[in-house]
Amino acid sequence: MPPSDTHRADERRFLDERGSASATLAPNGLNPATIMEKAVRERIIGSYFWKEQCFGVNEADIIDRVASHVKFVGGTYGVSQTPSPFLCLAFKLLQLSPGDDVLGVYLEYGGEKWKYLRALACFYVRLTRKAEDVHKVLEGYLGDRRKLRRRGREGVRVGYVDEFVDELLVKERVCGTSLWQMPKREILEDLEVLEPRVSPLGDIEELLAEEEEEEENREGEGDGGDEEGGERRRENGARSGGDREEGETESEDDREREYRRRRRSSSEYSDRDYRRRRSSSQRDSSGDRMDVDRDDRDHRSRRERSDSR
């Protein structure tokens, strides 16, 4: 049974057919209703933005919703893990399944005016298109340097469109959504599915070779400067060595003169001390003799007095 062109306002059919064989698959072979995790889908369907702004919306209304309500790129945020308008509109695109012509308008004409519309279209391309188509489409926007607000669990930060596109090509989880595992570009090049990518900066190998040559030239200049500096250091060392020898001889003469001065002063001090000790000993000995003579005189006078009695 071919898919109906009539848009259904409710999402019951889209969600009820997510496991059936009659569900319309994305170009990469995945069911659009099951690309996002169940917990994320339930939060989106239960959110206020989805019930109010995504009811009965078609491909043209997506541009109006992005211009009016999308102020940042992100998945779920806050304590309650509220889905962002960006994520709700991405889920709406999975339901609408726009064609390549509509995506071209989102990416080119609308993307030049509304950067968040381009980011939304790149996110949808990464979710639904084949690996070679993802690389061909997204690599063209790696030169977009416009700023984006990125909001996550850690808060709001400033990012860039090219940074967001690079994350879609490299990372496995972006905006709270697990991306399907896409083969790397090297494998696709080996299978001759993709042509080797030419960087806007030029040939990477030539740039690396030029950088190596510049480093070698700088090292060579540095070695020559080191040799000249070494010669200067040796000359300065020889000069400082001669000055040091003269200074050492002067210091030795000063030490010898100081030693002689101290020796004379110590000898003079020792002579004075010897004379002082000798004079003090003589005074002590003379005092002792005077004491003995006084005692003898007292003893003789006492005997004389006793005899007279």
Q: Is the dihedral of CA 135, 137, 140, 142 positive or negative?
A: negative
pLDDT in tens, 232-268: 666 665 555 555 545 555 567 777 777 677 766 655 5
Q: Tokens at residue 209, please? A: 């070779």
pLDDT score at 215: 84
Give the long-range contacts of residues 177-185, CB within 8 A, separation 24 or more. Answer: 177/35, 177/36, 177/37, 177/40, 177/75, 177/87, 177/90, 177/127, 178/37, 179/126, 179/127, 180/28, 180/30, 180/35, 180/127, 182/131, 182/134, 183/131, 185/135
pLDDT in tens, 61-112: 899 999 999 999 988 887 888 889 999 999 999 988 888 899 989 988 877 8
Q: Tell me: pLDDT of 14 over 70.
A: no
- Distance, CA of 4 to CA of 8 (rounded, Å): 9
pLDDT score at 155: 82
pLDDT score at 87: 92
The pLDDT-based confidence of 273 (bands split at 50, 70, 90) is low
pTM of the model: 0.62
- Distance, CA of 15 to CA of 178 (rounded, Å): 19
Give the single-character DSSP code of 197: P
Angle at 56 between CA 94 and CA 26, to 5 degrees: 15
- Distance, CA of 141 to CA of 114 (rounded, Å): 14
The answer to whether 87 and 53 have CB atoms below 8 angstroms apart is: no
Q: Return the closest-CA partner of residue 193 out of 129, 136, 137, 123.
A: 136
The answer to whether 121 and 161 have CB atoms below 8 angstroms apart is: no
Q: Tokens at residue 262, please? A: 């101290």
In the chain, at which residue ranges do the beta strands (DSSP E only) sit?
Answer: 73-74, 76-77, 82-83, 147-152, 155-160, 173-174, 177-178
Angle at 9 between CA 4 and CA 14, to 5 degrees: 60
Q: Tell me: pLDDT of 121 over 60.
A: yes
pLDDT score at 237: 59
Buried b (16+ CB within 10 A) or exposed e, 102-111: bbebbbeebb
pLDDT in tens, 21-69: 556 788 878 888 888 888 888 899 888 999 888 888 888 889 999 999 9
pLDDT in tens, 68-81: 999 999 888 878 88
pLDDT in tens, 166-214: 999 988 888 888 888 888 888 888 888 878 777 666 666 777 788 888 8
- Distance, CA of 159 to CA of 179 (rounded, Å): 20
pLDDT score at 1: 41
- Distance, CA of 54 to CA of 44 (rounded, Å): 10
Averaged pLDDT of the chain? 76
